[in-house]
Structure 1
Amino acid sequence: MSLLETQGLGISFGGLKAVQDVSFKVEPGEIVSVIGPNGAGKTTLFNMISGVYQPGAGRVVLDGQDVTGMEPFRLAARGMSRTFQNLQIFQNMTVLENAASGFHLRERGPVLADLLNLPGARRRARAAEAGARALLARVGLERAADRQAGNLSYGSLKRLEIARALALQPKVLLLDEPAAGCNAVETEEIDRLIAEVAASGTAILLVEHDMKMVMRISNHIVVLDHGEKIAEGAPLEVSRNPAVIAAYLGTEEATHADG
């Protein structure tokens, strides 16, 4: 059974169809990338899947359950986590505190216990710190744990955001342009991290403009243009699709992708 499935998903804004009739599946351990030119509807699609927008048509199915339009915090509890195109990092907190915040979202205790620093609250705090340190090691940021997050490089901040999303122990991880603004070395680091997360069994849905990265790490690609799905398939198949070449890749980029 697919971990994530969209069935005829669509939404309109002021009579304009931003996304219409988009269906695809993401299996456990699979990396599925959504690509398309600017304005194709990629982030709008992400927002419907992750509960930011209420779809006007279709369904979102998570691990066999209809979760269409469910609030993001409820989706997180059911196993969906995401990052955003614009960083959502607490710049004035330490790297460790940022990573630990994901655990606090997952394992909330009684407010009074936290205010009074009762034993249960202290246990949760210790567990969150231990889990956060393990995640920082996983993304290669363990040595930066006590640094202020705002002092990290952009690529490191991207990895930190992924670490915080992983604190929710997602079955499905949505990544919105994880390599945007990164240099070649940082992009390679994120490549490896995404591949490792998928290898652990997490289903990954990715929006990314770096076509070399997309073609390198994706198992399956969905192509949008003007809100409609115009193609899907394996990277090589998609890169050779005439409709994709015309809408997005361009002949020269498609040739590079084949290599």
Structure 2
Amino acid sequence: MTASRDDRTTLLSVEGLGISFGGLKAVNDVSFAVKPGEIVSVIGPNGAGKTTLFNMISGVYQPGAGRISLNGEEVTGMEPHLLARRGMSRTFQNLQIFQSMTVLENAISGFHLQERGSVLADLLGLPASRRRAGAAEEGARKLLARVRLEEEADREAGNLSYGSLKRLEIARAMASQPKILLLDEPAAGCNAVETEEIDHLIAEIAASGVAILLVEHDMKMVMRISNHIVVLDHGEKIAEGDPATVSRDPAVIAAYLGAEARTGGDHA
């Protein structure tokens, strides 16, 4: 199964990806591609394998089958910090925010992956270390302005609204200047106003040329902002295409109606 919609512009290529746990195929033979500046959403009922797929792409899980390429380089099974240096960053379903640190300190922490200085220089406060710290703070403040949190810089992160925490996590993920940003349910737990803010932020990041790979349960948001959608069910890709095409696909409708029947109407 081919992953490419246009090999000349593909940033991320996923080909035949699969993984099993205890003999159960959690993800099986999934392929798709993501272009620069494109928003690609992965959707499906609960248990469809979306986060497992994300974990393989981002190096948390070692795939049992298939290959992943980033910017033409095979990166299958590469560790997250090495992927970050090659232009991939991600957020998680559960917030990874340091609640007792300030908003600015949280944003600064995202720059650590880029640092190459010595620990001794940092301990001694040498000029090179001070320059790095100054550059990290300047970059963090720019990111906070980008996610509209600059006025909250000195506030303890634990005092922010949930939607603001989600935007702070995106800011921190952007510190590594990624070519592709993986967002795992960025609007989960947010109210309508917070979801709209995140919606606009994602669109702005994509417009700057950063590719977005998104897992999200808010179907209104997915249909609004996605250029391309990949649909999973029971670990397999059952459909893909633009939002209009996917929303009319009989296999997609059946998968979601089946999920509704199994859960009594509470489905993603």
- If the length of structure 2 is used for normalisation, what is the TM-score? 0.92
Q: Helix, strand or coil: the match of 1:178?
A: coil
Runs in 1 of length 4+ with deviation above 4 angstroms? none
Question: Secondary structure of 2:101's partner?
Answer: coil
Tell me by how many angstroms 1:105 deviates.
2.1
2:129 matched to which residue of 1?
121
Checking the alignment, whether the CA contact within 8 Å between 1:222 and 1:233 is kept in structure 2 is yes
- Asked if 1:144 corresponds to 2:152, the answer is yes
CA distance in 2, matches of 1:233, 1:169: 28
Contact 1:114 1:121 in 2 (8 A): yes
Amino acid of the structure 2 residue aligned with 1:165: A
* Contact preservation (8 Å) 1:239, 1:249: no
Aligned residues: 251
Q: Which amino acid aligns with 1:197?
A: I
Query: How big is the shift at 1:107?
Result: 1.9
* 1:12-61 per-position Cα deviation (integer Å, ceiling 9, x unaligned): 00000000000000000000000000000000000000000000000010
Equivalent position of 2:179 in the other structure: 171
TM-score computed with the length of structure 1 as normaliser = 0.95
User: 2:242 aligns to what?
Assistant: 234
Deviates more, 1:164-173 or 1:96-105: 96-105
2:99 is matched with: 91
Distance 1:144 1:108 in 2: 29
Distance in 1 (alpha carbons) for counterparts of 2:178 and 2:239:
28
**SS at 1:188's partner residue?**
helix
The CA distance in 1 between the partners of 2:46 and 2:133, in whole Å, is 42
Distance 1:111 1:19 in 2: 41
Report percent identity of matched pairs: 84
Output aligned runs, 1:202-213, within 5 Å: 202-213=210-221
* C-alpha spacing 1:249/1:99, structure 2 compared with 1 (3 Å): farther
Q: 2-side partners of 1:30 and 1:55: how far apart?
A: 24
Q: Tell me how far apart the structure 1 counterparts of residues 162 and 171 of structure 2 sit (CA, whole Å).
A: 14
In 2, Cα distance between the equivalents of 1:12 and 1:104? Answer: 33
- The whole-number CA distance in structure 1 between the counterparts of 2:23 and 2:34 is 30
CA shift for structure 1 position 249: 6.1
- CA 1:249 to 1:193, structure 2 compared with 1: closer, same or farther past 3 Å? farther
Q: List gaps (5 residues or longer) in structure 1.
A: 253-259
**Do the aligned residues in 2 keep the contact of 1:158 with 1:179 (CA within 8 Å)?**
yes
Kindly provide the CA deviation profile for residues 93-113 of structure 1, in whole angstroms up to 9, marking residues without a partner as x. 000000011112212311110
Partner of residue 60 from structure 1, selected from 39, 59, 68: 68
